Homo-oligomer: A and B are copies of this chain.
């Protein structure tokens, strides 16, 4: 049997059909047109599913089910998108709507949780039953897999790992709280830290780059050219990521922590200092439950694969 995976994003809806090894056999993408009524978005979603099946030459009757990964709070029990600011949705019964159209069982998960699940079925965490995926992007997203299943918590509201505390009453966060991990460890935060270092150290290469041209890569490029201030920003940024990872070790003791998102492309450059920090700061230090730490593997495909695996 095949499975259909839908990666519902704020910009695009990516639909794929996967085989039993979670290989994507065909994919199709349409604009989300967020903030339209849910019915209109779901109609486009259904048309995209039909297009992808036709493209793959697979009949609906050969599919075991449909999964959707959506931004926001998704209740896997009720199949409802409880709240999604990106989509402008409130209490949309997405699974029921898809089931009525396709007469196939539909499942729903938060997109970050789907990405974590995808890594366990076809990515860097295959065979791992207890892991956490941290996505370092505009924000810091999280997905928790315990005993092989997504841990979504009450109403599917858990795994908002970017909104755990790093500094009580510290930097303001988009969520309204202050001092969240996201306010220090997201790519957005790294850009802010890069700009601040450029202002502080007039001799630094960073001082020569206009603030509006700084992106998540800038500081790494400057460090490559031997810029000390840039390396300092990177070192501190690694501490921020690692401090949050240490909290995950002390609370959940997962077997593996994966980093995803654009910044994670820096690979060992981030992973090495992060591993060292975790091993010297977690409970029990080097005798503690130190997880394997690596980068996620699936990138853009994680959404479809994880949704299909729900």
A interface list, Cβ under 8 A from B: 73, 83, 130, 142, 144, 146-147, 151-161, 163-168, 170, 175-177, 239-240, 243-244, 246-247, 249-255, 281, 283-285, 287-289, 291
Contacts and interface: CB of A to CB of B under 8 A. Distances in A.
Contacts of A287: 83
Given A165-B246, A243-B165, A253 B289 contact: no
A154 to B, nearest CB: 4
Given A83-B284, A83-B287, A252-B153, A164 B167 contact: no
A149 to B, nearest CB: 9
A164 B158 CA distance: 17
A158 B282 CA distance: 11
Contacts of A177: 246, 281, 283
Nearest to A142: B251
Given A175-B283, A284-B83, A254 B168 contact: no
A162 B73 CA distance: 27
Given A154-B255, A161-B250, A177-B283, 13 more contacts: A73-B284, A147-B147, A151-B252, A154-B253, A154-B289, A157-B283, A157-B284, A158-B250, A160-B251, A161-B251, A165-B166, A165-B246, A167-B168
Interface centre among A154, A161, A177, A244 (most CB of B within 10 A): A154
Given A152-B253, A153-B289, A155-B253, A164 B247 contact: yes
Contacts of A147: 147
Given A146-B146, A177-B246, A253 B165 contact: no
Contacts of A161: 250-251
Given A283-B157, A283-B160, A247 B165 contact: yes
Interface centre among A146, A251, A253, A284 (most CB of B within 10 A): A251
A243 B157 contact: no
A152 B273 CA distance: 27
29 contacts: A73-B289, A83-B284, A130-B153, A142-B251, A144-B251, A151-B252, A152-B253, A153-B254, A154-B253, A157-B283, A157-B284, A157-B288, A158-B251, A158-B252, A158-B253, A160-B251, A160-B283, A161-B250, A163-B283, A165-B243, A165-B244, A165-B246, A165-B247, A168-B239, A168-B240, A176-B281, A176-B285, A177-B281, A247-B247
